[in-house]
Amino acid sequence: MRDEDIHACVRILKREILRWKEPVVGVVAKASRDPFQILISTVLSLRTKDQTTAEASARLFRLATTPTAMRAIPRLAIERAIYPVGFYRTKARHIHEICRDLLVRYDGRVPDEIDELLTLKGVGRKTANLVVTMGFRKPGICVDIHVHRISNRWGYIRTKTPAQSEEILRRRLPRRYWLIYNDLLVPYGQNLCTPVSPHCSQCKLVAYCERVGVVKSR
């Protein structure tokens, strides 16, 4: 894929994703614009389906919506509220530890810098970038498995890991697309450009895609 092709791809994706549900973290972000709720919802979303994450987030936020209030909830109560998200016991412990660190180190506020967010328990680059972009509207590129896979499938980048993908995208992707890139590629990757046997016959981006690694498609 040529550098100039990304503009056409973004225009097409903006239209195409309207037929699918928005990822749950984006829904939370639009509903509250609260960096703390975005942080916690993103932690819950890791290795968990969106519907499960949405329901767990709603149950948890009915109990507490601030670090102070959530820290006061017994860990077992958090576990019950977020079950059956993946690794719910570990995530309940991480939520307690995140709230403790926010209270002790940041006066109860969520930091707006990626490097500081990465010091919180259970927070990786994907989560940190989502909080920075959705919670604070600061430049960042959230690279999850969909962004990593599709960007490489297109031939737009050629990397081995999401961390490498973020590094290259920061150099190559036009800055005006940074905030929306994840929002566009996640629903496309969930519904059409799937990991195995993608729906290439239905894809409006086929003229731009090199189909790197695609062995079988529909």
DSSP state letters, 84-134 = TSTTHHHHHHHHHHHHHHHHHHHTTPPP-SHHHHTTSTT--HHHHHHIIII
Structure tokens at 112: 């707006």
Tokens 């973020």 correspond to 166
134, 25 in Cβ contact below 8 A? yes
| Co-location of 92 and 185 in the same domain | no
User: 46 pLDDT band (50/70/90 cuts)?
Assistant: confident
Structural domain containing residue 163? 5-21+141-202
Question: What integer is the mean pLDDT of 170-196?
Answer: 95
Q: Is 10 a residue whose pLDDT tops 80?
A: yes
Q: Is 72 a residue whose pLDDT tops 90?
A: yes
Q: Is 139 a residue whose pLDDT tops 80?
A: yes
> CB-based contacts of 110: which residues, under 8 Å, 6+ apart?
35, 36, 39, 102, 117, 131, 135
Q: What is the pLDDT at residue 23?
A: 77
Query: DSSP state, 189?
Result: H
Q: What is the pLDDT at residue 50?
A: 86
Q: Is 57 a residue whose pLDDT tops 90?
A: yes
Q: What is the three-class DSSP state of 32?
A: helix
50, 68 in Cβ contact below 8 A? no
Structural domain includes residue 210: no
Distance of alpha carbon 33 from alpha carbon 159, whole angstroms: 33
183 tagged catalytic: no
Last residue of a domain, one of 98, 118, 136: 136
User: 24 pLDDT band (50/70/90 cuts)?
Assistant: confident
Last residue of a domain, one of 88, 116, 136: 136
126 tagged catalytic: yes
Q: What does pLDDT average to over the chain?
A: 94
Q: The domain that contains 43 carries what CATH number?
A: 1.10.340.30
Q: Is 25 a residue whose pLDDT tops 80?
A: no
Q: What is the pLDDT at residue 22?
A: 81
Query: How many angstroms from the chain centroid is the CA of residue 201?
Result: 27
Q: Is 205 a residue whose pLDDT tops 90?
A: yes
| Co-location of 66 and 126 in the same domain | yes
User: 37 pLDDT band (50/70/90 cuts)?
Assistant: very high
% pLDDT > 70, the chain:
100
| Co-location of 86 and 145 in the same domain | no
Structural domain includes residue 216: no
Structural domain includes residue 211: no
| Co-location of 151 and 194 in the same domain | yes
User: 148 pLDDT band (50/70/90 cuts)?
Assistant: very high
Q: Which of 91, 144, 183, 216 is catalytic?
A: 144
Task: Give how many domains the chain has, as a whole number.
Answer: 2
- Note the residue count of the chain: 218
| Co-location of 97 and 68 in the same domain | yes
Q: Is 92 a residue whose pLDDT tops 90?
A: yes
Q: Which of 30, 101, 121, 126 is catalytic?
A: 126
Q: Is 3 a residue whose pLDDT tops 90?
A: yes
